[in-house]
Structure 1
Amino acid sequence: MPQSRVLGVSSVVSPTFIAATMKHLSLCVLLALASPLSASPAISADAGTTAPPTAVPPWNVNAPPGERSTVQLDVRSGTWMSVDVSPDGKTLLFDLLGDLYTLPIGGGEAKPLTHSMAWEMQARFSPDGKRMVYVSDAGGGDNLWIANADGSQAKALTTEDYQLLNNPAWSPQGDTVIARKHLVGTRSLGSGEIWAFHTGGGKGVQLNEKPNWQKDLGEPAYSPDGRYVYYSRDTTPGKSFTYNKDSNKQIFEIFRLDTQTGDVEALVSGPGGAVRPTPSPDGKYLAFVRRVRNQSTLFLKDLKTGREFAAWAHLERDLQEAWSVHGVYPSMAWLPGSREMVLWAQGKIWRVDPFKHTGIEIPFHIQDTRDVRKAVRFETAVAPDQFQVQQLRWMQVLPQGNRVVYSALGYLFAQNVSGGVAKRLTTRNDAFEFYPSLSRDGKALVFVTWNDKDQGSVRTLDLTTGKETVLTDGPGKYLQPRFSPDGKTVVYVKATGGYLTAPWNAMETGVYTVAAAGGSAPVRIAKDGDAPQFGNRNDVVFVTRQGEKEEVDLFSKLVKIDLADQGRETEIAKSEFVSEFLVSPDGKWLAFTERFHSYVTPLVQSSKPISVGSKMTALPVKQLDVNAAEWLHWAADSSKLYYGLGHQLFSAELKHAFDFVPGAPQELPKPAETGLPIGFVQTADKPSGTIAITGARVVTMRGDEVIANG
């Protein structure tokens, strides 16, 4: 993933990634503000009259908008620096704060090779020393670039826009570069594969396969004869990345791929793991990093005898326990002669003799500048006396179309769609109220309650009298209740507990029906399923079932349960990405949600399930929203759909979606950009009085000052 694009990832990432993020922080803020999300439309009468979009110029990483300023650099140390050495052993090549530098092998003033807003890193000299390959996001994402050794004539070798690249390494012949390609499934910091790219061009050749979608693989390096490719891989059990792994055991191993036979062998294993394989130029040794207790240590492996020994114990901590998209340790290099190495540790560059276990600092000095952009900030009130309630959940519009019911702040409210005062539908304060759903005639509401002590129940509410009726026969975790067309039956889900809720009262989970009048025992009609609903029949229930064959091979299907035929099940529709199906009250249409957008298509009876999705071709399909849609639900007469986004309510008529629907205008309008604002203003819950915490030991921020009894 391009460093200049990703912020706020809730995972541990490399210092390089963090530094790159900070370099581009102000740019990201400006970009977000330059491309705001529209507020998403509602039941507005002027739908389709939105202004034409303003043309947005192509984004240029090196020419961002905003107020420019320059920061002076005067540094003699750096963080997470990749280091290489020229073939003649006279010049070092390294990265610092997103630019590339050269340095005499004896140290001194560093010479900049790049100087731009783009983030450049992990540079490596070509075997003849005339060129270098490095990683840059100048094109919008991390790709491989090749330039002359002095930084001139830079040109992108790869142009990936999703499966981004890092950790390049030259083949001994200098005509090929291998690198790690980043692959993601359901988690952004995924796994890797090794790919080879000819310097003459092309999309690359895959050398190996990712272990799965979450265990990392990378840090490739050629053997001096070009036959083998070394790389590191997370070999901990399972397919999911986990934190808090024990580095005293084995997390990473180093593997060796034979490019002639395709054979792969685990070459370096054992306690402390093994990362950053770096073969010596004479082919006799493999340098690598291993954790010894809490200390990352440089090791050597004799490739003839197999002997492994500690060479230098002063490295920085590697990233074996964390995500390591850009490598588990910064790249290092052997000097010609295969007796010494150059590497980064403790903020410095070191010349290490791994056979004598000694290291000498190579001093460097950088006087340079960095361009930054001023961050855009808006004044935000902290702890205001009142706030606008914007999270309105499970919006339901009454059949007359003039009122809407929803859950907000954990309770049920009703409000005119034209605005006005939102009024609570109940007076309880001992339980939250979720999943409201209206009967087809709009006279009753079914919902669930929840509190942590008594757990939940399914209830109906007569909207005329205010009378509540409990339908369930005991506490549990109840979800998604819906009325049958005649209002006499309610279907709901009984779910398991765990995670944040107690596991008790979770026996016999599944999909249930119960009489809406109460007084009868619920009946389980299926052991699994979500979002149960009725179409045009009282004896047919539809449920959604979802799963995955593997991390990125998902499936979702709509299943019909015929209550009049001993619960016989028939798969009606299937999809890869649909998260919600919604059958119209007349049974003729199918609405669905895919990746937060809402769609509708005719529901055709078929002996085989219909493949449904935003790009389906078997039947006409129409997207209903502009930005996103939640709480999708049908009007009682199946003529339109309603949905919400934040505190806005939207509607979409079928005749405005398809030209074959009776009453459709000659030119179909576009979906509305803005909806009807509903919701209400709530007084903030602020504490009153004063609480004093006494007798505490207070560590202040004033030097080493400690107040013993504060």
Structure 2
Amino acid sequence: FEYAQDSNGALFAIDRYELDTGETHRVTAGNGGAVRPTPSPDGKYLAFVRRERAKSKLYIRDLASGNERKIYDDLDQDMQETWAVTGVYPNMDWTGDSREVVFWAGGKLRRVPVNGGAAREIAFRVADDRVVANSLHPQVQVAPASFTTRMVRWAQMSPDGRQILFESLGKLWLRPAAGGEPRRLTRSGDDSFEAYPSWSRDGRSIAFVSWNDGRLGQVQTVGARGGSPRTVTREPGHYAFPRFSPDGRTIVLEATSGGGLTSDRWNRDAGVYSVPARGGSPKLIERGVTNPQYAAAADRLFMTVQTEDDKLQLVSTDLNGEARRVHASGDLTSDFVVAPDGQSVAFRQNYEAFLMPLLPGGQDVAAATEKGALPSVRLSQGGGDFIHFSGGGARVHWNIGPTLYSADARTIYSNGYKPVTSGTNLSRTLAAAKPRGSVALTGARIVTMRGADGGVIEDGTVLIQGDRIAAVGPRGSVAVPAGTPSVDVTGKTIVPGFIDAHAHGPQGENGMTPQQNWSAQANLALGTTTVHDPSNRASEVFAAAEMQQAGLILAPRIFSTGEIIYGAKAAGAFAEIGNFDDALAHVRRLKSQGAWSVKNYNQPRREQRQMVVAAAQAENMLVVPEGGSLFNMDMSLIQDGNSTVEHNVPGEVFYDDVLQFWSQTRTNYTPTLVVSYGGPGADPYWRARMNLWEHPLLTAHTPPATLAAASARRTIAPEEDYADTWAAREARKLADRGIQVNIGAHGQQDGIAAHWEMWSFVKGGWTPLQALQAATVMPAKTLGMDRDLGSLEPGKLADLVVLDANPLENIRNTDKVAKVMLGGRLYDARTLNEEVTGNRQRQPYWWEGSGNAAAGRATTTTHGHRH
């Protein structure tokens, strides 16, 4: 017997497979479905689990008559609404005489007669001890006075090997390859961001994309010595990866559409276009392809395309998009780069850079890392991004984090290859953007989060100097220096800034960082001042994090794992781990790009997951895993020393064995109630109970069509069916035993999802104060930020939220945000204009002022000091 989903995928059914004929026959399904088939030894009965009004019950079926009846009414909830690949309910069995079914329910083993009678408990007790690995929560310096850039993007060695061109903090820089200080490439008062640089073959010109949220993107060129750029594209657009033809007469580029983080104006069919280098309108070559590039000839263009079976192919066409040839393909390949002489092709797989010959003609050669049809050489040791060639194809380059590496491409097969272990460091150390003035907030109720009772101060004062809290206490106890600006917040409540411990969300589009990321700003406007994103594109999230530190964009503080260390074989995402050195290489790759945490996800074998933990701890990094709704994996993640468990552990009740075990570790818990396993979560619950399109802060910071599409039509289930309630209830048992439990909004709905987390904790039995702790002091401890964040105390960062109503009386008041302070700068929540501490003004969002050519980044002035 086996079980599978029925034809419409809605309910599970039990089938019988005939060993003699190979035929499959349906045994039972019906309302409530059927799972966990367990036949009796005498072959007369089938025990199984069925749902009645969404609750799990134990049934038996008489196989001769087909009659079915319920024999036990109080099972634990089955896991049909999770990824329960090992089964949706614990195994059952029969007594040898086929008279009783033996099963698990309510944390006990039980037996129930088939022919009627009460169930009896099978008494047992296990005294057990386990070796538990210690988990680390390294302390993070949240806001140092200076920082060193790590996310250096699109590094490009000049054709003659004398200069290195790269992007950092939204601008392009040139640096002598022999050493020296970098200098800005362009001279312009324009505040646009610059990206995707590339050299002409003769090394005299550079093409790049200039981006301004109001004016959109333009392909521009500038001389190799720098200076004022010249615009090539006659119309604005969403452009990327401009590259010169070998003769320098044409530039090919990618073009896509906006409407997400960026404007929906000038949308084009996604594909590859060409434009005369002297200027003109982009002309479509082919749809659905990416990464245009030339080899030696100007009449043939190479591109990449994702096939229906998820392979990346390297193809070429003529300049009309015709006469297509396929040159190479790879199941797990994420990039192809053709040498200018057409002799070699580099590819990226398992985050590493490889090189192999490029055959003439149209043979499709597998991009194999070993034992392929053509020899391939692994170039990088620890990651290879932004692969490119110089010297006409003589040398191949790649970088990881801020370091650029190089190798000889023409002797690599004949002379043998010794892995390159050193390169050119392109990082820069810069001062972080910090205010220098003082401000006092007076008259509010202050929930300091000091101590178990929240340290509430009625009619208090918070004095801020620079980016930190200088004093906090009752109004009369805080000495405010003469001349300090004061903000009267009488009648309001101040709480620490919210820390979203599991905060996915877009930080760029195709690598481009918008000047105003409305998603990030919606989070900030609703009080989230720090995010930890446990899965994002490294080249986007760490670029945004550095721009936030430098004061170039307005956003919460951004911390991330970068890409996950993913064990499933997925193109562009697979992180293969065969030994500890592999795990260490992946951890160090992410650390070099800006990560201080790593995500341990879906490595198929336990020792592989243990290697990730050991490697992260060796690098003094936080390690956060997902168990993929598998209870046994979650328990092993706790035992093996992971810093947290992300997403709720499946199972409606945590029994004493789990509580005793977990509470003796230092593994904390981020249950992400918004996307609970086991049933509908907090997202559908609260979405169905709010008119999000009427929320004053969401409507101020979210595209109207996006907000309406996500919330206007909603589904609803009976109150008792929502899994976030029991997930919160069980998490409270852990919190009461000393485990730190954190909010994790999962990027479900920008701005409001963090509040849904807090509200659902209260729905599950937490007090409002306890829910606020899960949004402040608990994640600060979990993430190693509690020296700087999580409570309002002297010396800590001035990250706080001013609320119009008291959340201790009603947790639903947390989204009534009047003002938010981030690092000592005070912003009005509705406008995100800076008040008192400076004069930074938010520019119109793309849907508000898409025609406004000045809709770019504002300059900030605070107390007379430029930042």
**Is TM-score (shorter-chain normalized) higher than 0.5?**
yes
- Is 1:652 matched up with 2:407? yes
Superposition deviation, residue 533 in structure 1: 0.6
SS of residue paired to 1:233: strand
* More helix per residue: 2
Distance (whole Å) between structure 1 residues aligned to residue 2 and residue 381 of structure 2: 45
- Is 1:707 matched up with 2:827? no
Superposition deviation, residue 419 in structure 1: 5.5
CA contact (8 A) 2:311 2:331 kept: yes
**Cα pair distance change 1:509/1:669, threshold 3 Å:** closer
- Is 1:324 matched up with 2:115? no
* Equivalent residue in structure 2 for 1:630, among 381, 385, 408: 385
Superposition deviation, residue 231 in structure 1: 1.5
| Structure 2 partner of 1:392 | 152
| Structure 2 partner of 1:440 | 201
Superposition deviation, residue 635 in structure 1: 0.3
Superposition deviation, residue 259 in structure 1: 0.9
Gaps of 5+ in 1: 1-229, 239-249
Higher mean displacement: 471-480 or 540-549:
471-480
SS of residue paired to 2:380: coil
**Cα pair distance change 1:639/1:696, threshold 3 Å:** closer
CA contact (8 A) 2:326 2:362 kept: no
* More strand per residue: 1
| Structure 2 partner of 1:555 | 311
Superposition deviation, residue 562 in structure 1: 2.4
| Structure 1 partner of 2:231 | 470
Superposition pairs of residues 567-582 of structure 1, within 5 angstroms: 567-582=322-337
Q: Which amino acid aligns with 1:671?
A: P
Residues 107-165 of structure 1, C-alpha deviation per residue, up to 9 Å, x if partnerless?
Answer: xxxxxxxxxxxxxxxxxxxxxxxxxxxxxxxxxxxxxxxxxxxxxxxxxxxxxxxxxxx
- Is 1:295 matched up with 2:51? no
Superposition deviation, residue 681 in structure 1: 2.3
SS of residue paired to 2:76: coil
Gaps of 5+ in 2: 445-488, 496-766, 774-805, 814-867
Distance (whole Å) between structure 2 residues aligned to residue 687 and residue 269 of structure 1: 65
| Structure 2 partner of 1:511 | 272
- Is 1:282 matched up with 2:42? yes
Superposition pairs of residues 23-422 of structure 1, within 5 angstroms: 230-235=1-6, 237=8, 250-353=10-113, 355-356=115-116, 358-375=118-135, 378-417=138-177, 420-422=180-182
- Is 1:460 matched up with 2:208? no
CA contact (8 A) 1:546 1:557 kept: yes
SS of residue paired to 1:700: helix
* Equivalent residue in structure 2 for 1:681, among 401, 404, 429: 429
Q: Which amino acid aligns with 2:198?
A: S
Q: Which amino acid aligns with 1:701?
A: Q
Aligned alpha-carbon RMSD (Å): 3.3
**Cα pair distance change 1:612/1:362, threshold 3 Å:** closer
CA contact (8 A) 2:274 2:284 kept: yes
Q: Which amino acid aligns with 2:339?
A: S
Superposition deviation, residue 257 in structure 1: 0.8
Distance (whole Å) between structure 2 residues aligned to residue 446 and residue 364 of structure 1: 73
Q: Which amino acid aligns with 2:284?
A: R
Q: Which amino acid aligns with 1:648?
A: T
CA contact (8 A) 1:509 1:528 kept: yes
Residues 611-639 of structure 1, C-alpha deviation per residue, up to 9 Å, x if partnerless?
Answer: 44333654443222223211110003321
**Cα pair distance change 1:533/1:262, threshold 3 Å:** same
**Cα pair distance change 1:310/1:444, threshold 3 Å:** farther
Superposition deviation, residue 578 in structure 1: 3.4
**Cα pair distance change 1:308/1:540, threshold 3 Å:** same
Superposition deviation, residue 685 in structure 1: 4.6
Q: Which amino acid aligns with 2:353?
A: S
CA contact (8 A) 1:295 1:313 kept: no
Q: Which amino acid aligns with 2:356?
A: T
Superposition deviation, residue 439 in structure 1: 1.6
SS of residue paired to 2:127: strand
Number of matched pairs: 457
Higher mean displacement: 565-574 or 466-475:
565-574
Distance (whole Å) between structure 1 residues aligned to residue 153 and residue 398 of structure 2: 10
| Structure 2 partner of 1:539 | 299
CA contact (8 A) 1:253 1:269 kept: yes
Superposition deviation, residue 361 in structure 1: 2.7
CA contact (8 A) 1:236 1:252 kept: no
Residues 318-356 of structure 1, C-alpha deviation per residue, up to 9 Å, x if partnerless?
Answer: 111111122111101122333322221222222234554
Distance (whole Å) between structure 1 residues aligned to residue 283 and residue 418 of structure 2: 45
**Cα pair distance change 1:669/1:258, threshold 3 Å:** closer
SS of residue paired to 1:368: coil
**Cα pair distance change 1:669/1:522, threshold 3 Å:** closer
Q: Which amino acid aligns with 1:383?
A: A
Q: Which amino acid aligns with 1:593?
A: R
Superposition deviation, residue 424 in structure 1: 3.8
Superposition deviation, residue 589 in structure 1: 2.5
Distance (whole Å) between structure 1 residues aligned to residue 197 and residue 7 of structure 2: 45
Residues 11-66 of structure 1, C-alpha deviation per residue, up to 9 Å, x if partnerless?
Answer: xxxxxxxxxxxxxxxxxxxxxxxxxxxxxxxxxxxxxxxxxxxxxxxxxxxxxxxx
CA contact (8 A) 1:440 1:636 kept: no
SS of residue paired to 2:150: coil
**Cα pair distance change 1:257/1:539, threshold 3 Å:** same
Distance (whole Å) between structure 2 residues aligned to residue 703 and residue 403 of structure 1: 52
Distance (whole Å) between structure 1 residues aligned to residue 75 and residue 97 of structure 2: 23
SS of residue paired to 1:637: helix
- Is 1:670 matched up with 2:418? yes
CA contact (8 A) 1:417 1:678 kept: no
Distance (whole Å) between structure 2 residues aligned to residue 428 and residue 317 of structure 1: 63
Distance (whole Å) between structure 2 residues aligned to residue 508 and residue 419 of structure 1: 42
CA contact (8 A) 2:185 2:226 kept: no
SS of residue paired to 1:614: coil
Distance (whole Å) between structure 2 residues aligned to residue 310 and residue 512 of structure 1: 65
Distance (whole Å) between structure 1 residues aligned to residue 434 and residue 91 of structure 2: 53
CA contact (8 A) 2:257 2:269 kept: no
| Structure 2 partner of 1:643 | 398
SS of residue paired to 1:300: strand
Superposition deviation, residue 652 in structure 1: 0.5
Distance (whole Å) between structure 2 residues aligned to residue 369 and residue 425 of structure 1: 63
Superposition deviation, residue 607 in structure 1: 5.7
**Cα pair distance change 1:367/1:594, threshold 3 Å:** closer
Distance (whole Å) between structure 2 residues aligned to residue 266 and residue 683 of structure 1: 69
Residues 279-337 of structure 1, C-alpha deviation per residue, up to 9 Å, x if partnerless?
Answer: 12232221111222342211222212223333222111111111112211110112233
Superposition deviation, residue 491 in structure 1: 0.2
Q: Normalising by structure 2, report the TM-score.
A: 0.48
Structure with bigger gyration radius: 1
CA contact (8 A) 1:385 1:683 kept: yes
